[in-house]
Amino acid sequence: MPFLAFVAGLILIFAVLVDAFETVVLPRRVSSRYRIAGVVNRSFWWLWSQPVRQAPSRRWRENYLAVFGPLLLLVMLILWVIFLILGYALIYWALQSPFLTQAKGPIFELDLYASGSTLFTGLGDISPVTWIARVLMVSEVGMGFAFLALVIGYVPPVYQAFADREAKITLLDARAGSPPTAFELLRRCGESDRCVEARDFFENNEILCAEILETHLSYPVLSFYRSQHENQSWLAAITMILDTAALVVIGVEGMSKQEGRLTFAMARHTIVDLAQVHQVPPHNPSAGRLSREDFEKMRAMLKEVGMNLEEDADSYERLAKIRLLYEPYLEALSDYLLMPIPGWMPENEILDNWKLTAWGGPGQIRL
């Protein structure tokens, strides 16, 4: 038993160090199938999300789920500390509790206290009596300082990445509606001198998708961070970008197909990689997201504002083939993260978030 406890303690400590290194220090995606962080993320999310999967109130559900991301960050840090304390305690117990004490034989409660006090460089009332115990306690003190530095260095970049993401998503409000849709973006482009800023739009959103890919691979917890408005999300923004780019690829008069292809490639790369990180396989695409009738209706309405889609007889079929490249991943992530994705057109006439106030009245406007 002492040998098994010693080995178990070493495995726990090694697992925590590797997991913390890959999560905090290593700036790249790594497999999370057997990592502590990956198992905790999936298990904790499943438990947290179950009570609200059938909740009728979207606002209540969003407020509840918004707690998960920051809470998961704290839970992960706490679990690392607990596993470190337990790992060292098992090693101390295997070494017959090598501390000055009146008791005879190993006492696991004393070992836990010694480990916790040492990691937090606390009371200092535990005295080791063997050289190996002294080495272990010194290493645990150093590890306690290292984890304090990790917390200080890890949390600010996560919140900075979240703030940068939300600032760019909020810019879509006046350009593409709330939630953003491809139709609303193109309609507003047509009403504003044929979208003279289309090139900047594609370039900016290509950069947005690249930033989401980089930050959400490095910090997967960011995927669970919800936007401040319940009708906005990073997944809804990418959906609108992909839908718009797909329309441009099949042909929108006045817009470059090459720019549409580049933006589409970056956005699809983002959702496919994030689906892999969260181990969410693609779904069978929903047949009703854009029917042929809706496509023709959208084409006619866009034509009224000067945004002409190509009149090819097979344009709907070509668009359907492009949609198969990304909609299965969007719907899979939407079901997993409980983030609704917008349709191609707004379901109803909804005011943009910037036009709304909590009090209505003269502060609520239409332009």
Better-predicted residue by pLDDT, 243 or 53: 243
Helical residues (DSSP H) of the chain, grouped into ranges: 2-20, 36-49, 58-65, 68-94, 108-119, 131-170, 173-176, 182-191, 198-218, 234-251, 257-277, 292-304, 315-323, 327-337
**Tokens 């726990």 sit on residue:** 12
Condensed to tens digits (0 to 9), the pLDDT of residues 169-224 reads 998 888 888 889 999 888 888 777 656 566 778 888 999 999 999 999 888 889 99
Q: pTM of the predicted model, to two decimals? A: 0.84
Least confident of 14-28, 76-90, 256-270: 14-28
pLDDT band at 367 (very low <50, low <70, confident <90, very high): very low
pLDDT tens for each residue of 330-366: 999 999 999 999 988 887 777 777 777 666 645 555 4
Quick one: tokens of 114? 């010694």
Closest to 300 in 3D by CA, of 208, 187, 217: 187
* pLDDT at residue 116, as a whole number: 85
At residue 360, the pLDDT reads 60
pLDDT value at 235 more than 90: yes
Check residue 265 and give its pLDDT.
Answer: 95
Residues 6 or more apart whose CB falls under 8 angstroms from that of 299 comprise 309
Which residues 6+ apart lie within 8 Å of 97 measured at CB? 103, 105, 106, 107, 110, 111
Give residue 34's pLDDT.
56
Lowest pLDDT segment from 43-57, 91-105, 300-314:
91-105
Q: Please provide the DSSP assignment of 205-244 as one string.
A: HHHHHHHHHHHHHH-GGGGGPPPSSTT--HHHHHHHHHHH
What tens digit of pLDDT does each residue of 54-76 get?
777 778 888 899 999 989 888 88
Domains of the chain, residue spans: 2-153, 171-363
What's the half-sphere exposure (Cβ side, CA atoms, 13 Å) at 171? 9
**How many C-beta atoms lie closer than 10 Å to residue 109's C-beta?**
10
The answer, yes or no, to whether residue 140 has pLDDT greater than 60, is yes
| pLDDT number for residue 304 | 87
Rounded to 5°, the CA angle 191-193-199 comes to 105
Average pLDDT, the chain: 84
Residues 209 and 234 sit within 8 Å (Cβ to Cβ):
no
